[in-house]
Amino acid sequence: MAENDSSRGLADVMVSHLFANRDATRLDRVLYPGCGDGELVRAVHDYCEGTTFGYTPKSVVVDTDVSDSLPDRYPDVETHEVDFLGEGLNFGRKFDYVLCDPPKVSWTTLSREQRRAYATNSALVTTDDDPVGPRSDFLFIEQSLRHLSNRGRAVFLTDEKYKDDPTASRLRESLSKRVQDVVDVTQHVPSGSESVVTVLDNRFGPLSDPPFKYEPAQHEALLNVRIEEDQPFTARATMTEDPVSYGPDESSTAAYIDLMQDDYDAGLVRSEEGSSGVSGYVSRESLRLGSDQPVSECQKRLTGRVTIPGDAHISDVVERLGRERFLFVENVTGVEGVVTRFDLNRLPVYLHLYDCFSEFEIGLRNFVRENVSDWRERGDVRVGTTPTTDLVSDELTTAQLSDLIEIVEESGVRSELGLEYSDSSIDDLRKLRNAVAHYNPIVHTMGDTPTWDEARRGAPQLASEYALLQSSISELGEYAPAIH
């Protein structure tokens, strides 16, 4: 990685992923395989000096050609001018971080002795007289993982070919259990060649929740998408059309890495290559722990658990996605789309919730007017009034939902409305209403982990809050108008 403006940007991007959501310590160590020019070392030092770390983890550079200026620029860096792919490398304890832009070395240029040594040391080499051999970047990734601690993180620069290269089958099996993210960095590569940064994290074990990216701006943008459906409050109005699909013979580990890169949760399996017919589906969760085999061997049946009719009401979508990460949307001819938990951040859902909260607020106001007419004496709630009193019927007309809720709570009539449901509370409804009113994302994670005590909200929590909202509207009965 020769140093210029583009390479500096690329190195900085790689380092930002290396330390994302992590706090390095003085005892941590970073391994730089095949990066003797020092550009990645520079990026790590700049990052650490510009953060609250205040120090740089111990650095070890291994390359057959270490820059003469590297020890002068970074005297604390330990250098080993040896072949990283050779046998017998021992650095003592394993590394907390590995950062690597693997050198590109043609197998045909290697000596017979080098091929024999690599064949002995790698599961990717079938024989030392293989005329083609594996790509050198695959060998660097394989070797690097041997030196990564059981809670370590590694970041590699490569292209997308490792997803389906037949010589990397065993490597993909190992990677699929560790992949945290795959990021397109082509814009930062000086040559303009299609490149990706793959982030591996050993902390994601067999029982870990496969990570999903949450980018607020992306979900806010969903609210700018025009509603084209005549029936806006249906599964079809919230779905993504034409889900990703895979041929029956495609690699399962390649499919998993592909889903990770595009941040999809599941894809369809075609009944045959080039066909539009569907035989089943695969998900990230089901693919990540398997061996490299055809996706047809890993597929699951499209049952009612993971499908929903296109004309199903949004209320069904919210309730179902409280239990499932995704649902394939079906019509009479087959699958037409997919709806995921993040699709609950789409405009049709907000418009429906706005209607629901309108019913709730109007009903609550009417209930207070009729049953708590002495609310001023019962509590300390004060609501604003308009100067032109002939425009409103009373003070409660200008009361906000939070004011009405506070009146109900202070007046001791909360139990009469049944304002309790499962894990949700009336305060959760207040927060949800504010998010809907200001068009802020209402689902921030695809996972099932409880989010009740967090600022973020998951789909299970939204489903519970929605059930409480519907229950409250039902309890209000004649006080609430039937809007939706």
Q: What is the pLDDT of residue 155?
A: 95
Q: What is the pLDDT of residue 156?
A: 94
Q: What is the mean pLDDT for each group of 10 consecutive residues in the chain (484 residues)? A: 61 92 84 88 88 78 85 88 83 92 86 83 73 83 92 90 80 82 83 80 64 69 67 91 92 88 91 80 82 89 96 97 96 93 94 93 88 78 66 80 84 69 74 92 88 88 94 85 66
Q: How far apart are CA 3 and CA 164, in angstroms?
A: 31
Q: CB-based contacts of 257: which residues, under 8 Å, 6+ apart? A: 162, 163, 172, 175, 176, 179, 182, 198
How far separated are the first and last CA of the chain, in Å rounded?
A: 59
Q: How far apart are CA 285 and CA 210, in angstroms?
A: 7
Q: What is the pLDDT of residue 451?
A: 85
Q: What is the pLDDT of residue 209?
A: 57
Q: What structural domains and CATH numbers belong to the chain?
A: 5-201 (3.40.50.150), 231-340 (3.10.580.10), 347-479 (no CATH)
Structure tokens that stand for 153 in this block: 């993180």
Q: CB-based contacts of 346: which residues, under 8 Å, 6+ apart? A: 222, 223, 225, 237, 238
Q: What is the pLDDT of residue 233?
A: 92
Q: What is the pLDDT of residue 277?
A: 85
Q: CB-based contacts of 9: which residues, under 8 Å, 6+ apart? A: 188
Structure tokens that stand for 143 in this block: 């070797």
Q: What is the pLDDT of residue 393?
A: 76
